[in-house]
């Protein structure tokens, strides 16, 4: 049985929950509270699992893994059906590039430790932090919209007619964008894909509100 360490509000954990659900894989879950006691992700026991002190992390027998994109690809390799990536090498690279736009270039700027540091080191209040997120998420998602628009878009999802790696990364990022008050009027394709995904149980059941550790 796979053991998954996450947190209801973590968008990287949200990606993995969608991936588990799409594959129909059950897992044991431990909640790592990112704010309690200075952040449980910083406790030595969790750092032994992931020295970065970030969720998610995964354990399968003696095998441990961090980094949500690596985890999603590991799941895809371990349980190939349904596939998350196209077979064609060029298309596969494009989907990975899209996922990395979100995971490498957008998400890190909204991360809890970054926002905490803006407050601690520069005195940024909540309104300033929201403005920071709106700036970087807005810019990043505008670029994602342009990439998806280049697909000559008739498909229901980012790259075609089945949900995959790109959609797994997109949905939590749009969720965060709503949370931080990002103006999404200029990203109609992405928001349409987000809404389409909400109708699928694999995505809907992965939402933060449905997790056992949710807090209101």
Q: Which residues bind ligand GSH (CB under 6 A)?
A: 10-12, 34, 39, 41, 54-56, 67-69, 103, 111-113
Smaller CB separation from ligand GSH, 77 or 88: 77
- Strands of the sheet containing 2-6, edge to edge, are 27-31, 2-6, 57-60, 63-66
Task: Name the minimum Å distance from CB 56 to ligand GSH.
Answer: 6
Task: Name the minimum Å distance from CB 8 to ligand GSH.
Answer: 11
Smaller CB separation from ligand GSH, 70 or 149: 70
What three-state secondary structure class fits 189? helix
Residue pair 81/25 in contact (Cβ under 8 Å)? The answer is no
The structure tokens 């008050």 sit at 181
Task: Name the minimum Å distance from CB 55 to ligand GSH.
Answer: 4
> Cis omega (within 30 of 0) on the bond before 82?
yes
Task: State which residue has the least CB distance to ligand GSH.
Answer: 113
Smaller CB separation from ligand GSH, 126 or 150: 126
Task: Name the minimum Å distance from CB 95 to ligand GSH.
Answer: 16
φ, ψ for residue 12, nearest 5 deg: -70, -40
Task: Name the minimum Å distance from CB 125 to ligand GSH.
Answer: 19
Smaller CB separation from ligand GSH, 81 or 98: 98
Smaller CB separation from ligand GSH, 69 or 144: 69
What three-state secondary structure class fits 41? helix
- C-beta atoms surrounding 190 within 10 Å: 23
Instruction: Please report which helix (H) or strand (E) contains residue 193, including its range.
Output: helix 188-198
Rg (CA), the chain: 17
């Amino acid at each position: 049985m796979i053991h998954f360490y996450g947190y209801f509000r973590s968008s990287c954990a949200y990606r993995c929950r969608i991936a588990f659900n799409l594959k129909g894989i059950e897992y044991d879950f431990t909640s790592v509270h990112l704010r309690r006691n200075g952040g449980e992700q910083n406790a030595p026991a969790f750092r032994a699992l992931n020295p970065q002190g970030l969720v998610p992390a995964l354990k399968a027998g003696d095998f441990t893994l961090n980094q949500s994109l690596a985890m999603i690809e590991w799941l895809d390799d371990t349980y190939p059906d349904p596939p998350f990536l196209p077979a064609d090498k060029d298309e596969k690279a494009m989907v990975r590039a899209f996922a990395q736009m979100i995971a490498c270039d957008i998400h890190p700027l909204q991360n809890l430790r970054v926002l905490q540091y803006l407050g601690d080191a520069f005195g940024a209040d909540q309104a300033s932090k929201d403005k920071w997120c709106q700036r970087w998420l807005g810019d990043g998602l505008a670029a994602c919209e342009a990439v998806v628009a280049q697909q000559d878009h008739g498909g229901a999802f980012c790259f075609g007619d089945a949900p995959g790696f790109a959609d797994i990364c997109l949905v939590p990022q749009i969720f965060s964008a709503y949370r931080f008050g990002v103006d999404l009027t200029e990203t109609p394709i992405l928001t349409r894909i987000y809404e389409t995904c909400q109708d699928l149980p694999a995505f809907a059941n992965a939402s933060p509100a449905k997790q056992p550790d949710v807090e209101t």
